[in-house]
Chain A
């Protein structure tokens, strides 16, 4: 028996009720349905807002982050007044203001192999709005094992991808991407940036797909992948089939339960820069300050992109962007004492590996990058 709609709900959803494909029956279905939104960031914001507005009866939000000012350029579910608050709380308050008739369940915890099945099992559809590879593989495998559709979206700079992975009827995420990229090869949005409206476009399309799946209407993007480019305003659709060699949904699948996804991907399950190159390889901003003296021969190597130097810079630093470093090693002397830095310490940590493999032994990574220098040494520099 589907739940009744109150007069107020009938008014609220009147534009849905006017569409024959939705109507009262469809609105009842939405009220009786549930969606788990994994990540309340760039993608999760429009997804959760539109699902709430549409009247999806129960929405779960998984995130363990707090709202940061640098989120607000694209994470429109949060606001200036909620900076510093838990993202799930900030998002839940906004959703309940938009639609008080729905239930919001918050999970202020990382989505992990330990809790994922418990959290996901009672939801009809999962929406992947995460920012890292381990959680994407985890979300996929949870969906395969529980037989649920995974509404997938991902973004980088001006490019977006969208699909519905549903192993019962088509390919899964692993059919398309059997393995993640080697650690460090693909930059994250925290490193490479993203156009603020891009997650709005892709997230809104994810919400569309989730509603189609929940309503059972239209042709969900099962077995199809959208490749969107905002600069060209191009929408390319490609066909996807199940990969017969898929390790999780193929006929000879050997992954039968959730695994250690951070180990599988070789990276942590979050997109925060910890800014460290590892034990014994870092120097802090305060330590670096004591090393920079008038007679010091210390070389400062800035591996950021040239346009980032306009935001903040250290005097006398040599700029070689990370992508060019391998081809420009001859400009450096392996006998020099050197400190490498970037924005937050991730790219410089990678530069350190490259330099070490080329025989540079006297190199340290500025932990936390130029942002930590701005925080701890020179407050005149902005943090970005």
Chain B
């Protein structure tokens, strides 16, 4: 299974884990599985149209989804999927 890495400010919604494994053959499947397990995440991750909010970015093995195949990007075992959000603190 791929590994998801989560930003600190969202850890509360995923049992305080910063990294965990989640099944999914594509990024879409992975997010579906993630939201099925942690439904409270939905309003944080997705906008009212069901699209990923635009202050979020997803990287697979260090490469932005935009430079891969978007949400259809295929995943294999041990792929590292980083979810990151903007933070304003300074």
Residues of A participating in the B interface, judged by any CB pair closer than 8 Å: 39, 41-44, 128-133, 136, 153-159, 161, 176-182, 185-189, 192, 194, 199, 227, 229, 231-232, 236-241, 243, 271, 323, 326-327
B24 cross-chain contacts in A, Cβ below 8 A: none
Contact A159–B82 (Cβ < 8 Å) = no
Q: How many residues of B contact A (CB 8 A)?
A: 28
A178 cross-chain contacts in B, Cβ below 8 A: 54
Closest residue on chain B to residue A202 by CB atoms: B90
Contact A327–B63 (Cβ < 8 Å) = no
Does more than half of chain B's interface fall in helix, strand or loop, or is it mixed?
Answer: mixed
Contact B8–A186 (Cβ < 8 Å) = no
A41 cross-chain contacts in B, Cβ below 8 A: 90
**Please, what's the 1-or-0 string for B58-88, where 1 marks a CB less than 8 Å from any CB in chain A?**
0100111011000000000000001011111
Contact B86–A241 (Cβ < 8 Å) = no
Contact A186–B9 (Cβ < 8 Å) = yes
CB distance from B19 to the nearest CB of A (A): 8
B40 cross-chain contacts in A, Cβ below 8 A: 326-327
What are 16 A-B residue pairs whose CB atoms fall within 8 Å in the complex? A39-B90, A131-B88, A133-B88, A154-B86, A159-B8, A179-B53, A180-B55, A182-B53, A192-B89, A194-B89, A232-B19, A236-B5, A238-B62, A238-B64, A243-B66, A271-B88
Given A156-B9, A186-B85, A227-B82, A241 contacting B66 (CB threshold 8 A): yes
Closest residue on chain A to residue B66 by CB atoms: A243
B28 at the interface (CB under 8 A from A): no
Contact B8–A229 (Cβ < 8 Å) = yes
| Distance A44 CA – B54 CA, assembled complex (angstroms) | 27
Listed from nearest, the 9 A-B pairs whose CB atoms lie closest are A189-B89, A179-B54, A159-B8, A156-B87, A181-B55, A131-B90, A238-B59, A155-B89, A43-B90
B9 cross-chain contacts in A, Cβ below 8 A: 156-157, 159, 186-187, 192
| Distance A271 CA – B89 CA, assembled complex (angstroms) | 8
B20 at the interface (CB under 8 A from A): no
Contact A154–B67 (Cβ < 8 Å) = no
B66 cross-chain contacts in A, Cβ below 8 A: 241, 243
A199 cross-chain contacts in B, Cβ below 8 A: 90
| Distance A221 CA – B63 CA, assembled complex (angstroms) | 15
